[in-house]
A and B are shown apart, each in its own frame.
Chain A
Amino acid sequence: MKSRILRAPEGTSNGGASEAATLTTVPTVGAHASAPLGPIKIAARDVSVFYGDKQALFDVSLDIPDKTVTALIGPSGCGKSTFLRTMNRMNDTIPGTRVTGRIEMDGGDINDRKIDPVLLRAQVGMVFQKPNPFPKSIYENVAYGPKIHGLASSKGEMDEIVQKSLKRAGLWDEVADRLHSPGTGLSGGQQQRLVIARAIAVEPEVILMDEPCSALDPIATAKIEELIDELRERYCIVIVTHSMAQAARVSQRTAFFHMGKLVETGDTEEIFTNPRERRTLDYITGRFG
């Protein structure tokens, strides 16, 4: 094995805690990596999430490199979306949710009291499963983020941001002549690209995608996947997907979750061709999940 595998503790959580603690100290990406990885953008250490009394995520430690697509896979309810939402503190919005452990972005703890989740979310954009443009015009949708964060000082600058974002999201050619028609009038795939444009309009560093193609047809899906591949040059992308094929197509790194635990992580190729864990093999070959 050349790629480094971060293994979440299995079995009793008592034993797992100490094992995970030792992992924190090791440099997580090293010379062993098969492909040269970018610097680590987000480092999660012993992250657990509780919804009330129910624990949804157990001591997950995972490194997410920059300028890379990291896919989170696993059966429904395995905690991959929960983990995704810890990275922009969207879990804070659900009452009764508690997050423990450290999540570092560029070395700083995002759960620090001094970090304002509002600013964090400007740095970490998110795209949801169901396209959720605001019931406003296409222009207003894209301009919303820059507007609330005060990123544009003039109308011209705003126009520029909107155009640039729509171009990067590969939507410009389709909507250039109807920027002021409602965003909700677009097709599902276009809406999802509009939402991506909206997310990148605030120049985030990380984009989280929660099953972005599950509501789309294959052609729209292909377009989004193409887009994700282009966006990889600029952003750190984390994508939750149910489609193994999609994970294989778009990601360079893959992390497999099961029952709230991180089972295995590594280069996508490695995970799909030569998984270390029996459960990973069973899942990717379709034996469960």
Chain B
Amino acid sequence: MTDAASPMTGVSPRTQRLKARLRARYARETRFRWYGRAAIGVALAFLVILLGSIITQGYTAFYAHTVTLPVYMDPARIDRSYPQGANFEQIVAEQQVRRLGVQDDEQGSKASAMKALLSSELKFQAAKMVARQPSLLGQTVPIAAPLSDDAEMYLKGKITRDQPEDQRRVSNAQMDWLDKMKASGAIRAHFNAALFTKGDSTQPELAGLLGAVVGSALMLMVTALIAIPVGVGAAVWLEEYSPRNRITAIIEVNINNLAAVPSIVYGLLGLALFINFLHLPRASPLVGGLVLALMALPTIIIATRSSLKAVPPSIREAALAMGASRTQTVFGHVLPLAMPGVMTGAIISMAHALGETAPLLLIGMISFVPGVPHAIDEPVGALPSLIYIWENASERAFHERTAAAILVLLAFMIVMNAAAVLLRRRFERRW
């Protein structure tokens, strides 16, 4: 028999060559699969490192300690008509020093050290209680208040006794006191609700994210209300109505270019246009939303156009041939079919806008804004700018809060992206 008998079993040179070639082809395929796995592995490793470091740094911000102390409301030192003026921290600190059986010196340095462990929130709470119920004067009432950031750092193990005493902000004596109070049950750990219910503060133990979350949400609302209708409208016109000529070609090229413009340039534009020219309130969600809308527009237009393009022409033809007008065709058939893509594009660009920091710096959103905003023309903070501010703060306790803020921002984005996926599924239809 000749080698022509079967290419599978023969041993002729031709068959040999074919087999060698086949081996090389399979080898290439196997190599490529491994490249792919390696790439995914590297990406996953980076993700794990990133998330891991954020979580290990940030999880401690989600719990806090509260100290509950019996306070003798000394009528001699608290003015009934003006309780806000009383130095409650000093009063409480002195009482607590005595209660722990510590002998204070003449300068009252022990009381000062004790006072450093308490948050200024104590004073506001006590003053409020007295103002509301002046009869408390002369009595001993329990008051619960956060600990100072330094005390927190010790309790969370971020400051330890291993460090030289002169290089840490909590002395050995203070540490002993904290340990005692903890052992006696005066200090208790709990979920840090303040992080989600308070605005920014100069004191880390009192600083919360709510102001920034509300600021970001208001800003995104403005962005979505402007960017989505305008972007989708522009895309529909460009894709379905516009004549194909030089002008539309120029518009198209420029939209693609705008998508690549650095965001800080949009910030400058917003500063010049909305603040300096239109005199809109600086650092307001209105201006922030407008700037982010400008930034999100090209992305939304591009995403919408490509999903409009992906609608099979047969659907357009079917509608047109039935005597549907162009607008009936677009809004009755083409746009609904393109909706999953449009939604995905819009939400992804919103998520992008949410994390954008650079343009916010230029329109003044980098300033310290205590409290929670209520209107779109008030100055606010935003999550990314809050992260920037906190990261630059000198207090150690802000570092864990920075990581916590990043986690909240990530959660915000995961929620948005999940919404994109859900909407996609919801609207997806076969044709």
Q: Which of A8-16, A114-122, A221-229 contacts B (4 or more CB under 8 A)?
A: A114-122
Nearest first, the 8 A-B pairs at minimum CB distance are: A132-B314, A126-B321, A121-B323, A122-B323, A132-B318, A135-B431, A135-B429, A145-B322
Q: Which of A25-33, A65-73, A195-203 contacts B (4 or more CB under 8 A)?
A: A195-203
- Picked from B315, B337, B429, the residue with its CB within 8 Å of the CB of A132 is B315
Complex Cα distance, B322 from A184, in Å, reads 17
> In the complex where A134-B333, A184-B430 touch, is A118 in contact with B318 (Cβ < 8 A)?
no
Inter-subunit contact A195/B324 (CB<8 Å): no
Complex Cα distance, B117 from A2, in Å, reads 114
Complex Cα distance, B167 from A233, in Å, reads 102
Contact partners of B243 in chain A: CB under 8 A: 95
Contact partners of B317 in chain A: CB under 8 A: 90, 93, 126, 128, 132
Complex Cα distance, B323 from A88, in Å, reads 10
- Picked from B244, B314, B323, the residue with its CB within 8 Å of the CB of A148 is B323
Inter-subunit contact B320/A121 (CB<8 Å): yes
Give chain B's interface residues, CB within 8 Å of chain A.
243-244, 312, 314-325, 328, 333, 337, 429-431
> In the complex where A128-B314, A135-B337, A148-B328 touch, is A119 in contact with B323 (Cβ < 8 A)?
yes
The residues in A between 132 and 190 inclusive whose CB is less than 8 angstroms from any CB of B are 132-135, 144-145, 148-149, 182, 184
Contact partners of A128 in chain B: CB under 8 A: 314, 317-318, 321
Complex Cα distance, B318 from A125, in Å, reads 10
Q: Please give me the residue from chain B that is nearest to A96 by CB atom.
A: B244
Q: Taking the complex as formed, is A242 at the interface, i.e. its CB lies under 8 A from any CB of chain B?
A: no
Contact partners of A125 in chain B: CB under 8 A: 321-322
Chain A, residues 48-66, CB within 8 Å of chain B (1/0): the string is 0000000000000000000
Tell me the smallest distance from the CB of A166 to a CB of chain B, in Å.
Answer: 16
Inter-subunit contact A148/B322 (CB<8 Å): yes
| Chain A residue total in the interface (Cβ 8 A) | 28
Contact partners of A93 in chain B: CB under 8 A: 316-317, 320
Inter-subunit contact A130/B323 (CB<8 Å): no
Contact partners of B312 in chain A: CB under 8 A: 132
Inter-subunit contact B323/A145 (CB<8 Å): yes
Contact partners of B244 in chain A: CB under 8 A: 95-96
Contact partners of A130 in chain B: CB under 8 A: 314
Inter-subunit contact A134/B323 (CB<8 Å): no
Q: Please give me the residue from chain B that is nearest to A144 by CB atom.
A: B322
Complex Cα distance, B312 from A148, in Å, reads 21
> In the complex where A134-B333, A135-B337 touch, is A90 in contact with B321 (Cβ < 8 A)?
yes
Inter-subunit contact B321/A121 (CB<8 Å): yes
Q: Please give me the residue from chain B that is nearest to A141 by CB atom.
A: B318
Complex Cα distance, B319 from A126, in Å, reads 10
> In the complex where A95-B243, A96-B244, A135-B430 touch, is A90 in contact with B320 (Cβ < 8 A)?
yes
> In the complex where A95-B243, A121-B322, A128-B321 touch, is A134 in contact with B430 (Cβ < 8 A)?
no
Contact partners of B328 in chain A: CB under 8 A: 148
Contact partners of A202 in chain B: CB under 8 A: 322-323
Contact partners of B320 in chain A: CB under 8 A: 90, 93, 121
Complex Cα distance, B315 from A144, in Å, reads 13
Tell me the smallest distance from the CB of B230 to a CB of chain A, in Å.
Answer: 25
Tell me the smallest distance from the CB of A9 to a CB of chain B, in Å.
Answer: 30
13 chain-A/chain-B pairs, Cβ below 8 angstroms? A95-B243, A118-B325, A120-B323, A121-B323, A122-B322, A126-B317, A128-B321, A132-B315, A132-B318, A134-B431, A135-B315, A135-B429, A135-B431
Complex Cα distance, B337 from A122, in Å, reads 24
Contact partners of B337 in chain A: CB under 8 A: 135
Complex Cα distance, B337 from A72, in Å, reads 34
Tell me the smallest distance from the CB of A22 to a CB of chain B, in Å.
Answer: 34
Q: Please give me the residue from chain A that is nearest to B243 by CB atom.
A: A95
Contact partners of A133 in chain B: CB under 8 A: 318
- Picked from A88, A148, A182, the residue with its CB within 8 Å of the CB of B321 is A88
Extra contacts, 20 of them, besides A122-B323, A128-B314, A134-B333 (Cβ < 8 A), are: A90-B321, A93-B317, A93-B320, A118-B323, A121-B321, A121-B322, A121-B323, A125-B321, A126-B321, A132-B312, A132-B315, A132-B318, A134-B431, A144-B319, A145-B322, A145-B323, A148-B324, A184-B430, A198-B318, A202-B322
Complex Cα distance, B266 from A83, in Å, reads 52
Complex Cα distance, B321 from A118, in Å, reads 8
Q: Please give me the residue from chain A that is nearest to B322 by CB atom.
A: A145
Tell me the smallest distance from the CB of B242 to a CB of chain A, in Å.
Answer: 10
Contact partners of B315 in chain A: CB under 8 A: 132, 134-135
Tell me the smallest distance from the CB of B249 to a CB of chain A, in Å.
Answer: 13
Tell me the smallest distance from the CB of A24 to a CB of chain B, in Å.
Answer: 28
Contact partners of A88 in chain B: CB under 8 A: 321
Contact partners of A90 in chain B: CB under 8 A: 317, 320-321
Q: Please give me the residue from chain A that is nearest to B312 by CB atom.
A: A132
Inter-subunit contact A134/B318 (CB<8 Å): yes
Inter-subunit contact B431/A198 (CB<8 Å): no
